Amino acid sequence: MHRLSRRPAVSSILRANGSRYRSAAAAQSPASSFLLTNSGVEGDTSNKWYSVLTGGRAVSGTGSALRIQLPNGMLLGKRYESTAAESDASSPPPTGEKYEYQAEVSRLMDLIVNSLYSNKEVFLRELISNASDACDKLRFLSVTEPALLKDNVDFDIRIQTDKDNGIVTITDTGIGMTRQELIDCLGTIAQSGTAKFLKALKDSKDAGGDNNLIGQFGVGFYSAFLVADRVVVSTKSPKSDKQYVWEGEANASSYTIREETEADKVIPRGTRLTLYLKRDDKGFAHPEKIQKLVKNYSQFVSFPIYTWQEKGYTKEVEVDEDPAEAKKDGEEGSAEKKKKTKTVVERYWDWELTNETQPIWLRNPKEVSTELYNEFYKNTFNEYLEPLASSHFTTEGEVEFRSILYVPAVSSSGKDDMVNPKTKNIRLYVKRVFISDDFDGELFPRYLSFIKGVVDSNDLPLNVSREILQESRIVRIMRKRLVRKAFDMILGISMSDNREDYEKFWDNYGKYLKLGCIEDRENHKRIAPLLRFFSSQSEDYIIGLDEYVENMKPDQKDIYYIASDSVTSAKNTPFLERLMEKDLEVLFLVDPIDEVAIQNLKSYKEKNFVDISKEDLDLGEKDEEKEKAMKQEFGQTCDWIKKRLGDKVASVQISNRLSTSPCVLVSGKFGWSANMERLMKSQTMGDTSSLEFMRGRRVFEINPEHPIIRNLNAACSGNPDDEDALRAIDLLYDTALVSSGFTPENPAQLGSKIYEMMNMAISGKWSAPAAEYVPQQDHQQPAFSQPQNQEPMEAEIVEPVEAGNHKQ
């Protein structure tokens, strides 16, 4: 026997009592309502809303846009029976149950308002952008439907404030909204009417090329709740005869729509937003605050923006005369009496145009004069000096944007303030709406942070709040093009006929470009021609690397430089002696950043940079036979000096860079120079443990043609243990240490040696020999010792001699 399955019977019971099970399941659902779509019933396409509050009855109305739609009239989806036929491998697998996301509307609104926007000021920018889009839509539609404009052809945006009650009203003469558009645009979160309009334009055959519409995300309107407890939107569309009012409150999950019935609140066309500000945000209801925000964020919106401002004018009014003065005037009997007046200021309220400055970057550069560029610069950045240069350009292709860049005449942050890369010098706009001026190197590197300008683009990768420029390939492309244009602008200053223009630029921004040599290896070829330095042949003015290369000797292979703390010390250094004889030009690096910048640059036009204070200096001409003879003659002396100096030097060599000095102390090829060692020691946060490691080797070079060295060579051959000769070596080393730019480890000991040598040199030269000074010992009085083995002298008596009658 076979047991019959009872499942078909159960299935029939379920189908027969579908409504009962639907009501029971609905009671267990966490959602407040759900939708049943009776698509399986022929001719019935209506949607019914069920709620747990009505016990399964249908609820009329459109409801929220956030809902669950279950297919085929099934509440919890289809149930698939497990049978032998369905387990066949050839049959398709069962489809999963499909659900739509749910959301708690009030919580979602709170997240949108308080998480997307970090600055409350942007509420006005967003609402003005919406008003501008409304005007743009009507202007576009009126081309094909002129009747939409009727008699009112003017487009404008007006903002009125009531600071006593904390109310801000924004009115535009744009397209307005119908009742259904209010539900779709303001009642549906993240649905952008502008984005929908742009899509319709794109799909239309009559779509235009350029558009100025700003909206993208459909959440800008809700920024009003950043500062307002309640928002009332009164709107009149030219497509409708009725005016409707939308009203919503912060942290509420519902809103109301009604028809406007008050005659004094009727508007001919457009939208009026009324914001009832929160207690802590009533400062936004001050007219001066609103005017400031409009000028900052919406200065370049293409429609005029008027704000309600208090104004005044002066007039003369009569003053009541004092009775005592009137009596006095009557007694004097003045024939002609003048009435007394005073000047008063009459106050009144009127509309004032706030966005007067035009976005000149949208115009053709050929049509804009230098005066207009300078005026725009002064108004936008609050400058009083004209810029050194400007650059107006449009970039097309993968990224499209327009920009105007300026080089300020004077550095606003000071020459020494290059640490903080954050500046407010670049103002970023998207479709003429200000986005931000707070950047951390996204558009310009730190060493070009002094460049000022505006950048306007239609397709920047912004986040929803429009406050953050997200890192992407597009941003990197924009950065490259902006940097390239900035370099072209600076190069134009350097090639100017007026040399003083670039000297002024270099005095203000030279250190910035040197910083670029360190931080931006990719742009070395653009930075190097802009560098300027003093040199051994131009101590009074700066020269460029191109000029240095032109002045190089035919057989000169390298670019020579010396780093020091001043031009005076650089030109008197012993390292220059032989190069000056050969008329080889040497660059003077006198700024602390110079040496590091040149070391990062490494070469220019295939000419390597060579530090003349380091070992293995190659000056081109070599006489191998003479060098061999010198080494043979002074080789033993070099070893003798090295033995005396010990670990103070790595080696003692015969120098090819000296002509008048007896010796010099040079740095190792891969270690710090004397100048760098001095700078590192002076660092506040420097690591002292790295000083010994990076100091590198020191090489003591001697000049074999100098008399001192020849005398020491004779001492080495005759009496190498002579104390005076050894002390002369010590003093020679200490002197070379100072003249080469190093800091002596024991300055007091060096001073004592110098004093001793001075005493030996000048003793008895201008006066009789003095008694020998005996140092004080054991608290005894100092005394001068008498010369030893000195016999007493007898006095000689001379008798007077008579000459004539006189005695002498």
Please enumerate, by residue number, every residue annotated as part of a binding site for ATP: 126, 130, 172, 177, 192-193, 216-221, 271, 466
CA distance 648 to 634: 20
Residue 307 CA neighbour count, 13 Å, CB half: 24
Q: Are 139 and 132 in contact (CB under 8 A)?
A: no
Residue 709 CA neighbour count, 13 Å, CB half: 26
Locate 68 and state its tokens: 């669950």
Locate 372 and state its tokens: 């207009």
Locate 584 and state its tokens: 């080889």
Q: Are 58 and 44 in contact (CB under 8 A)?
A: no
CA distance 514 to 523: 12
Q: Are 422 and 444 in contact (CB under 8 A)?
A: no
**DSSP secondary structure, 339-378, as one string:** PPEEEEEEEEEEEEE---S--GGGS-GGG--HHHHHHHHH
Angle subtended by helix axes 707-718 and 624-645, to nearest 10:
70
Please report, for the chain, how many H helices and E strands are present, in that order: 22, 30
Q: Are 609 and 559 in contact (CB under 8 A)?
A: yes
Element (H, E) at 8: helix 7-16
CA distance 413 to 105: 48
CA distance 722 to 745: 25
In whole angstroms, how large is the CA radius of gyration of the chain?
Answer: 46
Q: Which amino acid is at 548?
A: Y
CA distance 366 to 347: 45
Q: Are 35 and 68 in contact (CB under 8 A)?
A: yes
**DSSP secondary structure, 492-543, as one string:** HHHTSS-HHHHHHHHHHHHHHHHHHHHH-GGGHHHHGGG-EEEETTEEEEEE
Q: Pairing state of beta strands 651-654 and 607-611?
A: unpaired
Beta-carbon contacts of residue 535 (< 8 Å; ≥ 6 apart):
543, 548, 585, 586, 587, 588
CA distance 175 to 194: 12
Locate 373 and state its tokens: 């560029």
Residue 548's φ and ψ, nearest 5 degrees, are -65, -45
Q: Where are the alpha helices (DSSP H) in 96-145?
A: 105-116, 122-144
Q: Which amino acid is at 515?
A: L
> Dihedral (C-alpha) 765, 771, 774, 775: value to the nearest 10 degrees?
-50
Burial class (CB in 10 A: 0-12, 13-18, 19+), 491: middle
The CA angle 64-69-75, to the nearest 5 degrees, is 125
Collapse the DSSP code of 699 into the 3-class scheme (helix H, G, I; strand E, B; otherwise coil) and give the result. strand
CA distance 674 to 685: 19
For residue 632, give the nearest of 713, 706, 701, 578 by alpha carbon: 713
Binding residues: 126, 130, 172, 177, 192-193, 216-221, 271, 466
Q: What's the first-to-final CA gap in the chain, in angstroms?
A: 179
C-beta atoms surrounding 468 within 10 Å: 15
